[in-house]
Amino acid sequence: MRHVTALRTGLSALLILGAWTAAGPSTASAAPADSAELPASAALLSAMQRDLGLTEGQARTRLAEEKAATALEPKAQRAAGSAYGGSWFDSATGKLTVAVTDAGKAAAVRAAGAQTRVVEHSAAQLDATMKRIDALSAPDGVASWRVDPATSRVVVNVVASAQGDNDVRAFVAKARKTGPVTVERTAEAPQTFAAGTVGGDPYYTGNVRCSIGFSVHGGFVTAGHCGGTGQQVRGWDNSYIGNFQGSSFPGDDYAWVNVGSGWWTVPVVLGWGTVPDQLVRGSNEAPIGASICRSGSTTRWHCGRVLAKNETVNYSQGAVHQMTKTSVCAQGGDSGGSFISGDQAQGVTSGGWGNCSSGGETWYQPINEILNRYGLRLHTA
């Protein structure tokens, strides 16, 4: 369904589809952040109840707990020092849990406000294992691999139907030699979420439809597999927006597009007429276990949880590194769209498996990596 023309024209160069559905009015406001979040509550709470199975009271509590955990994470990591083994949000306790390899560091981390778990391997050791596996050539039957701080291991995900394949078994054997590795099965192989051209959607490159991510000063960010550097971009009304100024895929899955020709940027994620548009106020990274929402030009928005970080996804076009996995569904055409937690930008939709009827999993490219790569500045309210 197309937005009212005035709304789509006013917001078009930007911010994408989006996410945490919550948000207040579509125009920027100078009001304090706390008061700005209140109008978003009803829509956001409704989405969380639908997709996460929470009551309204539980959703409100979860939001407050996750906000506190997000703010605490960098402080707790500093307290752990070289013993830091990763962290995640524990929805059962409502607190951030930090893995440490040195029990002596646990007291300092708890003093910072987090729970602790003593583990065998540090985050640095697990990241080194990831890099060694990244250097291997993965067959199609290997879906992804990631660091799991809770088990202090690197998890290799193998497509269930391909677990007996000789190439898959050979890859797993090599992966096990790189460090602490465990193998899990997944239902399907991941794929990107670009789609063929259909009417009334945010932007097009050739015959491919994708979704705008987040506004940056001078343009917007999106997925790299949606177009190559120099490629022309057209908006929902088929008018010229700009061109891809930088694009990387595979290896990474990010890109940015300059905005001109009557289009402009605003710090908003579109609510698509179903919920109020969400103001974007920053890009603080949500922890593993936190709830998160996504919106795209095909399925609008859906919510779920952050399942893993630093995961390598093995698409048919090649592997993409340092991705974040979520339980949120997505479909073709949602590629490039926004993942947002509260009013904090998280990343742009890359790909996944499943759909929004039967469920699935979706990965996103973290926003801060994109900003740093191209020297961009997020447009915030």
Residues forming the active site? 225, 253, 335
Could you tell me which of 305, 301, 296, 278 has the C-alpha nearest to residue 335? 296
* Burial track 52-80 (b if 16+ CB lie within 10 A, e otherwise): bebeeeebeebbebbbebbebbeebbebb
C-alpha torsion 352→354→358→362, nearest 10: 0
Cα-Cα-Cα-Cα dihedral sign, residues 111, 112, 114, 120? negative
Q: Residue 267 carries which DSSP code?
A: S
Burial of 31 (0-12, 13-18, 19+ CB in 10 A): middle
- Helix H or strand E encompassing 362: strand 359-366
- 3-class SS of residue 130: helix
C-alpha torsion 158→160→161→163, nearest 10: 50
Q: Residue 145 carries which DSSP code?
A: E
Q: Cα(159)–Cα(214) distance, rounded to whole angstroms?
A: 32
> Which residue type, as a one-letter code, is found at position 126?
L
- For tokens 């703010």, the residue is 71
Burial of 102 (0-12, 13-18, 19+ CB in 10 A): middle
Q: Cα(292)–Cα(290) distance, rounded to whole angstroms?
A: 6
Q: What is the DSSP code string of 228-241?
A: -TT-EEEETTS-EE
Please answer whether residues 305 and 52 qualify as being in contact, where contact means their C-beta atoms are separated by less than 8 angstroms: yes
